[in-house]
Chain A
Amino acid sequence: DTEVTQTPKHLVMGMTNKKSLKCEQHMGHRAMYWYKQKAKKPPELMFVYSYEKLSINESVPSRFSPECPNSSLLNLHLHALQPEDSALYLCASSQDGNSYNSPLHFGNGTRLTVT
């Protein structure tokens, strides 16, 4: 079982909908990440939170809005998405993201389809 839990597992939404993806970890990690993965492609970094502050935004469109309510939780708010945003959205965490030997631990992802 993964120690990073993502909900929902699957999500279908229209282009005018507002939805949220949720991620939770209880490993005491202080860095949390959102990655996007398209079919047959590697995961691509979207956002990083370190100690509950946004530390990296990889020029992601504003229709994706991350939120880190506390060190265990990470949300991704979605609004006015496009069909090309359909992908597997992966949450990950690491011990603190600024030291050696701090690998990413991934959840099982949310499969998002935008219609």
Chain B
Amino acid sequence: DQQVKQNSPSLSVQEGRISILNCDYTNSMFDYFLWYKKYPAEGPTFLISISSIKDKNEDGRFTVFLNKSAKHLSLHIVPSQPGDSAVYFCAANPDYGQNFVFGPGTRLSVLP
């Protein structure tokens, strides 16, 4: 049973517009959430994270929103750039532990 879900396998966005990637989770013990970006033949790169005590965290072009009651988080990228084209993984961690669980990923394509 998937504890972290990313229901959109792929997303295409025009350069300069907003990209919104979504993630849902089922385990109410998760309290630390992260987004990673992965290019082919490379390991995942950490982008941004959020603790369950917050509902928003912003870092440059990247903003993560957390809705605990809905068990939903999203990553906003504004403005989107062609270099943002990659697979994005949502990850979650229970009780600040070590068992990071990853979603299946969403492939983002930013079109020039």
Where the two chains meet, the residues of A that have a C-beta atom closer than 8 Å to any C-beta of B are 2, 4, 6, 31, 33, 40-45, 48, 50, 55-56, 90, 92, 94, 97-109
Q: Closest A residue to B49 by CB, please name it.
A: A103
Q: Closest B residue to A56 by CB, please name it.
A: B98
Give the residues in chain A near B42, CB-CB below 8 Å. Answer: 2, 108-109
Q: Is the CB of A48 within 8 A of B49?
A: no
* Known contacts A100-B32, A106-B45, A109-B43; A43/B98 CB under 8 A: no
* Total CB contacts across the A-B interface at under 8 A: 65
Q: Is the CB of B98 within 8 A of A108?
A: no
Contact count band on B: 20 to 34
Give the residues in chain B near A31, CB-CB below 8 Å. Answer: 98
Give the residues in chain A near B105, CB-CB below 8 Å. Answer: 40, 42
Give the residues in chain B near A99, CB-CB below 8 Å. Answer: 96
A19 CB → nearest B CB, Å: 20
- For residue B89, CB closer than 8 A to chain A, the reply is yes
